[in-house]
Amino acid sequence: MEHGSQTKLSLDKKKIGILLFEGIHASAVDAFRADGYTNITRHEKSLPEAQLLEAVRAASVIGIRSATHLTRRVLEQAQGAIAVGCFCIGTNQVDLGAAEEFGIPVFNAPFSNTRSVAELVLAEIIFLMRGVPFLNAATHRGEWIKSAMGSFEVRGKRLGIVGYGHIGTQVGLLAEAVGMQVVYHDIETKLALGNGQPAESLGALLESSDVVTLHVPETPATRNMIGAAEIARMKRGARLINASRGTVVDLDALAEALKSKQLSGAALDVFPVEPKTAGERFDSPFSGMDNVLLTPHVAGNTEEAQKNIGTEVAGKLIRFSNNGSTLGAVNFPEVSLPEHTGKRRLLHIHYNQPGVLSAINAIFPAHNINIASQYLETSAKIGYVVTDVETSDSALVTRLRDQLAAVAGTIRTRILH
């Protein structure tokens, strides 16, 4: 079954079916309910494909986390879906191209866990400066190493932040609060927050920092960005933290540097290859190294982050459902729309092909209708036109919507009252 050209009336909020999988946080449900959406079905887990295909048929809004795969086949069944919310960071589990073709925007929460990561990194900075990973391991073994050697306060020490984005800037502010000097390196020109200073270059940052922390995305340029040559440039005895992406650090080079005492400690939360399930074994070149703090990609995993994700994604879905705004959609032309009080809003999603806009705009004057405002945004594949009209004649708006739906290239239309 294909998503044909679809027309949708603005539904009563109570009738908009919201289908949530994988134990999405109660904050999402609270946000939907507070806005008047009460038709909510929750599943604690993802469903096997056969059941999923059945379940999505009646849904208007589908909320998932990472274990539910919204393939083209599943999306084809979701004939009534107006939007998908990924209540997580990644969106690889959704066929974004298919969703775009079907006129379904997909939303996620890329920055809800920023603070969680930044707090863990701050703790790691302090632990590494004090040698806590080593002391903890030794004490567990029954050793009593009561010494100040190699144990330092963080006050006055220099923190080098590579990647001064959402997380990098927060780490900088937290580190300054405990008296550290912050330098950062980014490929973009970034406004310094607090007393942070841009480093002249990555090399200059590496050479001068007591602790280096990485907060870059995974790109061809960041693959093995910190390898043997970069580690050799670091201050002898410095510490390295990676809670960004596993591919950014050459693990073998890091293990060598820790053995040779070029670096005195490291904290790693992400790895080039990570187990996909809890039962799968994790191996790394750091087994048995007491001065390395290893965590299983949990820097962003906190109760608060889950709660924030619930509120953020539900908020984006509610905005889209109520007023058509697609700000934050990962596969869709983004428009941030004002309220349309006293007007009727017509949404038109179409293939990005010549002639659609002029065909749309020929419809309104033919009915002597005044366009109050109009918004257009396109991607390579699709276009999204939002038109506010000044009329209270519901029958006329329905006729307009039907004519819009008949325009060649239309994917779907919707009226918002």
33, 73, 297, 367: the active-site residue: 297
Cβ closest to ligand NAD, residue 149 vs residue 191:
191
| Residue in the block written with tokens 């399930």 | 277
Q: What is the DSSP letter of 294?
A: E
Cβ closest to ligand NAD, residue 68 vs residue 222:
222
Cβ closest to ligand NAD, residue 25 vs residue 185:
185
Q: Which token pair is 163?
A: 């990647």
Residue 166 interacts with ligand NAD (CB under 6 A)?
A: yes
Q: Which of 187, 232, 327, 362 binds ligand NAD (CB under 6 A)?
A: 187
Nearest distance from residue 172's CB to ligand NAD, in Å?
11
Burial of 130 (0-12, 13-18, 19+ CB in 10 A): middle
* Closest C-alpha to 324, from 309, 343, 310: 343
Q: Is 297 a catalytic residue?
A: yes
Burial of 148 (0-12, 13-18, 19+ CB in 10 A): exposed
49, 153, 200, 274: the active-site residue: 274
Sign of CA dihedral 55, 50, 277, 163: negative
Q: Which of 143, 188, 283, 303 binds ligand NAD (CB under 6 A)?
A: 188
Secondary structure in 3-state letters for 30-63: HHHHHCCCCCEEECCCCCCHHHHHHHHHHCCEEE
Which of the ranges 51-59, 162-170, 348-356, 405-413 carries the binding residues for ligand NAD, by CB under 6 A?
Answer: 162-170
Residue 117 interacts with ligand NAD (CB under 6 A)?
A: yes
Q: Is 245 a catalytic residue?
A: yes
Tell me if residue 264 falls in helix, strand or coil.
strand
Tell me if residue 169 falls in helix, strand or coil.
helix
Nearest distance from residue 167's CB to ligand NAD, in Å?
3
Taking each continuous run of H as one helix and of E as one strand, the counts in the chain are 13, 17
Residue 160 interacts with ligand NAD (CB under 6 A)?
A: no
CA angle 106, 110, 116 (to 5 degrees): 145
Residue 115 interacts with ligand NAD (CB under 6 A)?
A: no
**Cβ proximity of 22 and 45 under 8 Å:** yes
Cβ closest to ligand NAD, residue 168 vs residue 172:
168
Residue 245 interacts with ligand NAD (CB under 6 A)?
A: yes
Residue 198 interacts with ligand NAD (CB under 6 A)?
A: no
Residue 67 interacts with ligand NAD (CB under 6 A)?
A: no
Cβ closest to ligand NAD, residue 245 vs residue 412:
245
Which of the ranges 108-116, 147-155, 230-238, 350-358 carries the binding residues for ligand NAD, by CB under 6 A?
Answer: 108-116
Q: For the chain, how big is the Rg over CA atoms in Å? A: 26
Binding mask 207-226 for ligand NAD (x = CB under 6 A): --------xxxxx-xx----
**Cβ proximity of 416 and 347 under 8 Å:** yes
Which of the ranges 30-38, 109-117, 174-182, 312-320 carries the binding residues for ligand NAD, by CB under 6 A?
Answer: 109-117
Nearest distance from residue 100's CB to ligand NAD, in Å?
22
Tell me if residue 400 falls in helix, strand or coil.
helix
φ, ψ of residue 415 to 5 degrees: the values are -105, 135
Residue 196 interacts with ligand NAD (CB under 6 A)?
A: no
Cβ closest to ligand NAD, residue 222 vs residue 331:
222
Helix (H) or strand (E) holding 378: strand 371-378
Q: Which of 9, 30, 111, 311 binds ligand NAD (CB under 6 A)?
A: 111
Cβ closest to ligand NAD, residue 298 vs residue 362:
298
Separation CA 417–CA 128 (nearest Å): 57
Tell me if residue 240 falls in helix, strand or coil.
strand
* Number of residues binding to ligand NAD, judged by CB under 6 A: 30
Separation CA 46–CA 306 (nearest Å): 17
270-289: contacts with ligand NAD (CB under 6 A): 270
Residue 65 interacts with ligand NAD (CB under 6 A)?
A: no
Nearest distance from residue 170's CB to ligand NAD, in Å?
8
Residue 50 interacts with ligand NAD (CB under 6 A)?
A: no
Q: Is 312 a catalytic residue?
A: no
Separation CA 98–CA 75 (nearest Å): 7
**Cβ proximity of 172 and 182 under 8 Å:** yes
Separation CA 99–CA 312 (nearest Å): 20
Residue 253 interacts with ligand NAD (CB under 6 A)?
A: no
Residues that bind ligand NAD (CB under 6 A): 111, 113-114, 117, 162-168, 185-188, 215-219, 221-222, 243-245, 269-270, 297, 299-300
For the annotated catalytic residues, the residue numbers are: 245, 274, 297
